[in-house]
Structure 1
Amino acid sequence: MSAVQDPIIPVIAGLIRSHPGTISLGQGVVFYGPPAAAREAIRDFFEKPENQKYGPAQGMPQLLELTERKLAAENGIHVGTARRVVVTAGANMAFLNALFAIADPGDEIILPLPYYFNQEMAVRMLSCTPVFVPTDGNNQLRTDLIRAAVTEKTRAVVTISPNNPSGAVFSEDALREVNALCRAHGIYHITDEAYEYFTYGGARHFSPASIQGSEPHTISLFSFSKAYGFASWRLGYMVIPEHLYEAVLKAQDTNLICAPSISQHAAIGALTVGSDYCREKLKIIGRVREIVLDELQSLADICRVPEAQGAFYLLLRVDTELDSMKVAQRLIQEHKVAVIPGTAFGLDEGCYLRVAYGALEPETAAEGTRRLVSGLRAITGA
């Protein structure tokens, strides 16, 4: 555990608490909560004694059924007999379950840079080795470099699209190529799709598990946290090959037994509303995104903002010799605006900052971005 990085969100949150009035462009959450149907679904929860007992490790039957329908209708993923769905306490637990099921100490997991810090932490916690593969200048996959990184110890390639922290949406062609590579090498493609609905402009989300023949080697991770405002309810799910089901349930039963029953009931209500709930909220997030991008244009001389058509993140590269953590600290202490340093995502060369805008109303986002712009100019001396 001493080799595992400290989770950055609590570190930044502590700095924010020490500087009241700070506007956070840090944590990746949405501004809205669950739909009314989710609240209605748990209205009588405490009246039924069976709700206070452990449930099935894989998830409640009704929720599994609704999830399988959603996967078929929206992702082109047909569960059938070759796959299983397991309900988890968020996509982070799903990722950890997957590692428990497929990897031994010393095995390698390929993580394109920038990685999502909790996944890199999980790899190290299981005494596996993260192998970092650069992306291109727009944070798109370099499939040639991924192919070159595969060794006899490789157990999986991880892709996150839409991406945290960059906001990039990987192309269908690139994801198909990674999936085919994994199939050819007898390794797994772990595809994190927590931000599946958050795309802008002409960008479209693609689920690799929809590829014909992908069933034996594709592990898909999903979350209710973003689309349905369920962050504190800790609920997600994973789609896995049938042959991993027993191993995943061992990990699930040991760590959790079952995902929280009250959260599963709420999710049943949310799925009856469906993704239209998120897509309506996305209109506001899209407006906030445009506000943030417009404000950042004035930093073009000292800051590069690669194209980001997904999630609710922008990954800035600032022209400075200063360390990104030091810049993040000074932005909070001196300018009362919070971002996440790129070092948390494996970006150790250059000063990268992740800006998150999903949690803010338009006016707050505009003020926070103005603080960021003036703060970066002051800190860099530009």
Structure 2
Amino acid sequence: MRLSHRVAAGVDSPMAAAYDGLRAAGGRRPLLDLARAAPAYPPAPEVVEHVAAVAADARYAAQAGLPHLREAFAADLRADHGGDVTADDLVVTAGCNQAFCLVADALCAPGDEVVVARPTYFNHAMWLRMRGVEPVVLEPDAALVPRAADAEAVLSPRTRAIVLVTPGNPSGVEVPPDELAAFADLARRHDLALVLDETYRAFRSTGPHALYAAPDWRDTVVTLHSFSKDLALAGYRVGALAGGEALRRQALKLLDCVAIGAPRVGQEAAWAGLEKAHAWRAERAAEVGARRAAFAAAMRERPGGFEVVALGGFFAWVRHPRRDATTPDVVMALLREQDVLVMAGTDFQDVDDATLRVSVGNLTDVDDLVARLREFGA
């Protein structure tokens, strides 16, 4: 039976396409994989030890998440941001992407609109379009920071939410806390949701936001979280969302249909990381920060004509020198000629401004990368 004619058309995953391109690698030297957006290092030993101890328990967890994980994560959020966030505000999900999908489906119906800042995390845009929801692009300022004052002009009667990612994926840009407060005020005035994806929160360099301090934050603010990056648990598939009761109730109905609940072993791993690996978390965040700093220093002379446009969190947004070629072609040439794998900026926006996403959080040898960039641009 042929079903291809029944499958809805859509944009293929850019990440899958990037790794499909590995067959074009030159193979002259080891691959520098700077496309993947998750840490390459393993989880903390304390986490591995705890997972081994609880692996025999294969029961469903409570649907909203293991109570001890929700308590631990609520305490973690309070310690970071202050304000009033409790275990009851949280739903544990099978990763942050699932958290976004649940929230988007809870908030929107086909024909609605959601404001997303450029450059846009492609999974957000893909999911919205597959659900018949239109992503409306908010142009950032010259430093790639989205501004609440500019967002008002793109709102319409069909707008249901504003989505921000900070630190940004793909740009690395961090939205300042006062700007996040301005977005929350804008969303509150227009009866919209402000959906804040904080997947790379552990790697930020700016101060924390204070959104949970507002007494009515649950009426407007929804935050999305990942333990994949902070605790190096990508394969365990565990994340979370924080929001008001009505949103959580709808998210739980959706979750019941697609996964029942997040994997129990992943939740136990996340709890162990939060409770037992404080020093490890701090060391990994400092390590990623040091890699960012080394990358920034090495790129000041624009090796091979490559120029850093923005840098923060886990990523650098870099402009390439081959302006006479399309960026996807440049990505393939960089892979073929230098065995360097990155993501094209066109995977995250409709314009081709010669930009690339580089996962500097996974860059262990900046001198090697710089040498390859110089050779590519020669």
TM-score (norm 1): 0.90
**Compared with structure 1, are the counterparts of its residues 166 and 347 closer, same or farther at alpha carbon in structure 2 (3 Å cutoff)?**
farther
Q: Identify the residue that residue 51 of structure 2 maps to in structure 1.
A: 42
Q: Identify the residue that residue 102 of structure 2 maps to in structure 1.
A: 97
Q: Identify the residue that residue 57 of structure 1 maps to in structure 2.
A: 63
* RMSD across aligned positions (CA): 2.0
Q: Identify the residue that residue 178 of structure 1 maps to in structure 2.
A: 183
Q: Tell me, in whole angstroms, the C-alpha distance in 2 between the residues paired with 1:132 and 1:270.
A: 36
Percentage identity across paired residues of the two chains: 28
Task: Report if the CA contact (8 A) 1:22-1:338 is conserved.
Answer: yes
Q: Tell me, in whole angstroms, the C-alpha distance in 2 between the residues paired with 1:198 and 1:208.
A: 19
Q: Identify the residue that residue 77 of structure 2 maps to in structure 1.
A: 71
The one-letter code of the counterpart of 1:311 is: G
- For 1:1-382, list aligned pairs within 5 A: 4-19=10-25, 20=27, 21-47=30-56, 51-80=57-86, 84-200=89-205, 203-206=206-209, 208-299=211-302, 302-308=305-311, 310-319=312-321, 320-361=323-364, 363=365, 365-375=366-376, 377-378=377-378
Cα shift readout 1:306-325 (whole Å, capped 9, x = no counterpart): 342x3121111235132111
Q: Tell me, in whole angstroms, the C-alpha distance in 2 between the residues paired with 1:206 and 1:60.
A: 26
Once the 2 structures are TM-superposed, how far is the Cα of residue 292 of structure 1 from its aligned partner? Answer: 2.0
Unaligned runs of 5+ in 1: none
Q: Tell me, in whole angstroms, the C-alpha distance in 1 between the residues paired with 2:357 and 2:99.
A: 24
**Compared with structure 1, are the counterparts of its residues 300 and 206 closer, same or farther at alpha carbon in structure 2 (3 Å cutoff)?**
farther
Once the 2 structures are TM-superposed, how far is the Cα of residue 348 of structure 1 from its aligned partner? Answer: 1.6
Task: Report if the CA contact (8 A) 1:140-1:170 is conserved.
Answer: yes
Cα shift readout 1:106-143 (whole Å, capped 9, x = no counterpart): 10000000110111111111110000111112111132
Task: Report if the CA contact (8 A) 1:90-1:225 is conserved.
Answer: yes
**Compared with structure 1, are the counterparts of its residues 46 and 305 closer, same or farther at alpha carbon in structure 2 (3 Å cutoff)?**
closer
The one-letter code of the counterpart of 2:81 is: N
Which secondary structure does the structure 2 equivalent of 1:328 belong to? helix
**Compared with structure 1, are the counterparts of its residues 46 and 158 closer, same or farther at alpha carbon in structure 2 (3 Å cutoff)?**
closer
Task: Report if the CA contact (8 A) 2:116-2:164 is conserved.
Answer: yes
Once the 2 structures are TM-superposed, how far is the Cα of residue 285 of structure 1 from its aligned partner? Answer: 2.0
**Compared with structure 1, are the counterparts of its residues 232 and 77 closer, same or farther at alpha carbon in structure 2 (3 Å cutoff)?**
farther
Q: Tell me, in whole angstroms, the C-alpha distance in 2 between the residues paired with 1:77 and 1:14.
A: 45
TM-score (norm 2): 0.91
Q: Tell me, in whole angstroms, the C-alpha distance in 2 between the residues paired with 1:207 and 1:252.
A: 29
Q: Tell me, in whole angstroms, the C-alpha distance in 2 between the residues paired with 1:24 and 1:311.
A: 17
The one-letter code of the counterpart of 1:244 is: L
The one-letter code of the counterpart of 1:76 is: G
Which has the higher mean CA deviation after the structures are superposed, 288-297 or 33-42?
288-297
**Compared with structure 1, are the counterparts of its residues 270 and 112 closer, same or farther at alpha carbon in structure 2 (3 Å cutoff)?**
same
Which secondary structure does the structure 1 equivalent of 2:219 belong to? helix
**Compared with structure 1, are the counterparts of its residues 332 and 301 closer, same or farther at alpha carbon in structure 2 (3 Å cutoff)?**
closer
Q: Tell me, in whole angstroms, the C-alpha distance in 1 between the residues paired with 2:117 and 2:340.
A: 28
Once the 2 structures are TM-superposed, how far is the Cα of residue 222 of structure 1 from its aligned partner? Answer: 0.7
Q: Tell me, in whole angstroms, the C-alpha distance in 2 between the residues paired with 1:290 and 1:373.
A: 19
Once the 2 structures are TM-superposed, how far is the Cα of residue 2 of structure 1 from its aligned partner? Answer: 5.0
**Compared with structure 1, are the counterparts of its residues 373 and 57 closer, same or farther at alpha carbon in structure 2 (3 Å cutoff)?**
farther
Once the 2 structures are TM-superposed, how far is the Cα of residue 13 of structure 1 from its aligned partner? Answer: 1.6
Q: Tell me, in whole angstroms, the C-alpha distance in 1 between the residues paired with 2:230 and 2:86.
A: 25
Task: Report if the CA contact (8 A) 2:24-2:332 is conserved.
Answer: no
Task: Report if the CA contact (8 A) 1:342-1:351 is conserved.
Answer: yes
Once the 2 structures are TM-superposed, how far is the Cα of residue 4 of structure 1 from its aligned partner? Answer: 3.2
Once the 2 structures are TM-superposed, how far is the Cα of residue 80 of structure 1 from its aligned partner? Answer: 4.9
Once the 2 structures are TM-superposed, how far is the Cα of residue 57 of structure 1 from its aligned partner? Answer: 1.5
Once the 2 structures are TM-superposed, how far is the Cα of residue 198 of structure 1 from its aligned partner? Answer: 0.7
**Compared with structure 1, are the counterparts of its residues 53 and 332 closer, same or farther at alpha carbon in structure 2 (3 Å cutoff)?**
same
Task: Report if the CA contact (8 A) 1:321-1:350 is conserved.
Answer: no
Q: Identify the residue that residue 3 of structure 2 maps to in structure 1.
A: none
Q: Tell me, in whole angstroms, the C-alpha distance in 1 between the residues paired with 2:269 and 2:303.
A: 44
Task: Report if the CA contact (8 A) 1:68-1:78 is conserved.
Answer: no
